[in-house]
Amino acid sequence: MAKMYYEKDCNLDLLKGKKIAIIGYGSQGHAHALNLKDSGFDVIIGLRENSKRIKEANDAGFKTMSVSEAVKNGDIVMVLINDEVQADVYNKDILPNLKKGAALAFAHGFNIRYKQIIPPEGVDVFMAAPKGPGHTVRSNFVAGKGVPCLVAVEQDATGNALKIALAYIAGIGGSKAGIMETTFHDETETDLFGEQCVLCGGVVDLMQCGFEVLVEAGYEPENAYFECIHEMKLIIDLINKGGIEAMNYSISDTAEYGEYVSGERILPHEEVKNRMRKVLKDIQDGSFAGKWIAENKSNGRAFFNSRREMLKKHQMEIVGKNLRENMIWGKDTNLDNASN
């Protein structure tokens, strides 16, 4: 069983008097920064010159500066820029300015696990990884709740790295939901596996297939969207609340019977699991990471950008956009609005 930590295990006083430099003000960055500030801590933001986030962070009451300046001042340096640019920014602006005895922190282990970043001796290296999108990290905190987090220590120079990490996670609200101890190795591999096989790759392709089958059979695309895409959240909310049992309690017995007779026809377990094992192997042996690093370095993201464009033009996205715009709560489509 994994070691779990909650509110009682976290001592927020350990962050008193420390400057927390948040590098990047995107999905995770704005959420960590705002939650830590609301928890009473001293937060500064490091951004690129000309970053469009500077105004946003200033408007939220933060002092912003260059990445190098923020790192020079930071006792804790939390790296919340895109994984694929972290190594360059680290070499140029972070490593040369990191204070001895400071803590270098991440929300995902990719660059440490695949050795794109090799931290120097004499600093703590920890992970505070929310198991949820940044905007939920913020909205749950505002609602007095938290998002479950993973904690890991890669390097413990001060002897206090775990305690500092737990205090940091409590500051962003994670201790209200639960903190699981892991390693950079396991967090990275399970995170990549989850998003590829189940959460993003798996779910999106499943919804797309369902939508296409119904539309190709002559049913209205709006109907296909409601059925195969919109309802996904309603079903997941039930599972999130009370497990699959709660979903089965809420759906009709007809739906539950259909689940038992057709689930495995769609996803033959042994075949699907063998495919998942192949994806897992590519993650474990570094070949997925190598491809993603190469995609960013050499092809100007040709594959990534073309897939993103293709998806934008897919009928399910166009139909969905139109339907959501007409839902009375669907007007606010700005995902960067922290109150979403």
Write out the residues near Mg ion by the rule CB under 5 A.
191
Among 5, 10, 19, 27, binds ligand NAD (CB under 6 A): 27
Nearer to ligand NAD, 114 or 211 (CB): 114
Pairing, β 42-46 against β 4-5: unpaired
> Please, what is the minimum distance in Å from the beta carbon of residue 220 to ligand NAD?
33
Choice from 36, 62, 77, 83 touching ligand NAD (CB under 6 A): 83
**CB nearer Mg ion, residue 46 or residue 109:** 109
Cβ 88 to Mg ion shortest distance, Å: 22
Q: Which residue, 66 or 160, has its beta carbon nearer to ligand NAD?
A: 66
- Quote the CA–CA distance of 200 and 93 in Å, as a whole number: 32
d(CA 45, CA 53): 10
Instruction: Please select the residue that binds ligand NAD; options are 20, 33, 51, 72, rule is CB under 6 A.
Output: 51
Length of the chain: 340
**Could you tell which of ligand NAD, Mg ion, none binds residue 108, using a CB distance below 5 to 8 A set by kind?**
ligand NAD
Q: Which of ligand NAD, Mg ion, none lies near 155, with the C-beta cut-off 5 to 8 A by kind?
A: none
Which residue among 10, 21, 28, 168 contacts ligand NAD (CB under 6 A)? 28
225 Ramachandran zone, left/alpha/beta (phi>0; psi -120 to 50)? alpha
**Both structure tokens of 48:** 């690129």
Looking at 78-86, 139-147, 241-249, 261-269, which segment touches ligand NAD (CB under 6 A)? Answer: 78-86
Phi first, then psi: give them for residue 21, nearest 5 degrees: -95, 115
Does residue 89 interact with ligand NAD by CB under 6 A?
yes
Cβ 178 vs Cβ 148: under 8 Å: yes
Strand-strand pairing, 179-181 and 149-155: parallel
Phi-psi bin for 189: left (phi > 0), alpha (psi -120 to 50), beta?
A: alpha
Q: Does 316 bind ligand NAD (CB under 6 A)?
A: no
What are 53-56's contacts with CB under 8 Å, separation 24+? Answer: 53/24, 53/25, 53/26, 53/29, 56/25, 56/30, 56/336
Edge-to-edge strand ranges of the sheet holding 42-46:
4-5, 179-181, 149-155, 124-130, 103-106, 76-79, 19-23, 42-46, 63-65
Range 95-114, binding ligand NAD (CB under 6 A): 107-108
Q: Is 26 in the site for ligand NAD (CB under 6 A)?
A: yes
DSSP 166-200: HHHHHHTTGGGT-EEE--HHHHHHHHHHIIIIIIT
Which listed range, 76-84, 149-157, 197-205, 223-231, lies at the site for ligand NAD (CB under 6 A)? 76-84
Q: Which residues are catalytic?
A: 108
The Cα 160–Cα 163 span in angstroms is 5
By the rule CB under 6 A, 82 interacts with ligand NAD: yes
Judged by beta carbon, residue 123 or residue 151, the one nearer Mg ion is 151
Please select the residue that binds ligand NAD; options are 53, 163, 301, 324, rule is CB under 6 A: 53
57 binds, among Mg ion, ligand NAD, none (CB under 5 to 8 A by kind): none
Contact call for residue 340 and ligand NAD (CB under 6 A): no
Of 33 and 170, CB closest to ligand NAD? 33
Q: How many CB atoms lie within 10 A of CB 213?
A: 12
* Residues at the site binding ligand NAD, with contacts judged by CB under 6 A: 24-29, 47-48, 51, 53, 67, 80-83, 85, 89, 107-108, 129-130, 133-134
